[in-house]
């Protein structure tokens, strides 16, 4: 009896996966990278554009996350003083929260239609990018070596862009030879695994404001 229990535990450990939606589930085609111009209505965009430069409170809270071998799974310092999270947003401007939530829901329904899944979503944030900031190619749910990062359930993910009065800051997908120059109101969508590495070119001048939105598949009706 004891031997059977031990064997079962070992088998379960071997079968364990941190992913409900495994990397590669959506394939590796460039067709899974979607750009939606004018995703955000002009009136709402203007409200967001007017608000972003006035933000004077940014998050500096979370700690970085490391694997047992010391590998950094999430570098919180990289985002310090650059993220206005939901707690801050809902306190300083509830109207903005409602507007952003509207477009996160719009993206949720867009994802569900395109990928034939049901997804859960997260509360809105606003991120700022100032001169000298760049982001090397990365995946949203994996490390470059294929191991899970701190967010293995970031299955399908999006970015909303609010302004273009900056130099640099292009979004790029090196595996797909795609470079995206941000435009106000643009939304971009891609799967979160290493088939869709993406980075941000260095900001040379000005400030770039975005909302990253992360979605987790809770029901899958598409092809396996």
The residues spanned by each domain of the chain are 39-220
- pLDDT, tens digit, for every residue of 203-217? 999 999 999 999 999
- pLDDT, tens digit, for every residue of 10-59? 444 445 688 899 999 999 999 999 999 999 999 999 999 999 999 999 99
- pLDDT, tens digit, for every residue of 158-184? 999 999 999 999 999 999 999 999 999
Quote the percentage of the chain above a pLDDT of 70: 92
Which pTM was predicted? 0.91
Average predicted confidence (pLDDT) for the chain: 92
Q: Cα-atom radius of gyration of the chain, to the nearest Å?
A: 19
- Position 63 scores a pLDDT of 86
Q: Which residue's entry shows tokens 């979160």? A: 192
CATH number of 39-220: 2.60.120.620
Give burial (CB, 10 Å; 0-12/13-18/19+) of 76. middle
Distance CA 210, CA 88 (A): 16
Is residue 61 pLDDT above 80, yes or no? no
| CA dihedral over 134, 139, 144, 149, signed as positive or negative | positive
């Amino acid at each position: 009896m004891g031997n059977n229990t031990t064997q079962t535990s070992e088998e379960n450990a071997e079968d364990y996966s941190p992913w409900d939606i495994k990397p590669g589930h959506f394939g590796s085609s460039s067709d899974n990278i979607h750009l939606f111009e004018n995703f955000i209505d002009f009136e709402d965009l203007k409200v967001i554009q007017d608000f972003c430069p006035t933000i004077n409170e940014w998050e500096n809270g979370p700690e970085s996350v490391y694997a047992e071998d010391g590998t950094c799974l999430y570098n919180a310092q990289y985002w310090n003083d650059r993220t206005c999270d939901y707690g801050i947003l809902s306190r300083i401007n509830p109207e903005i929260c409602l507007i952003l939530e509207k477009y996160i829901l719009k993206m949720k329904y867009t994802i569900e239609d395109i990928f034939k899944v049901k997804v859960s979503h997260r509360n809105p944030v606003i991120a700022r990018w100032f001169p000298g900031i760049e982001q090397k190619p990365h995946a949203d749910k994996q490390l470059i070596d294929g191991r899970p990062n701190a967010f293995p359930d970031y299955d399908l993910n999006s970015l909303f862009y609010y302004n273009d009065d900056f130099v640099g800051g292009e979004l790029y997908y090196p595996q797909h030879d795609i470079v995206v120059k941000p435009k106000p109101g643009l939304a971009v969508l891609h799967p979160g695994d290493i088939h869709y590495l993406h980075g941000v070119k260095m900001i040379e001048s000005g400030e770039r404001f975005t909302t990253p939105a992360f979605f987790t598949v809770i029901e899958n009706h598409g092809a396996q």
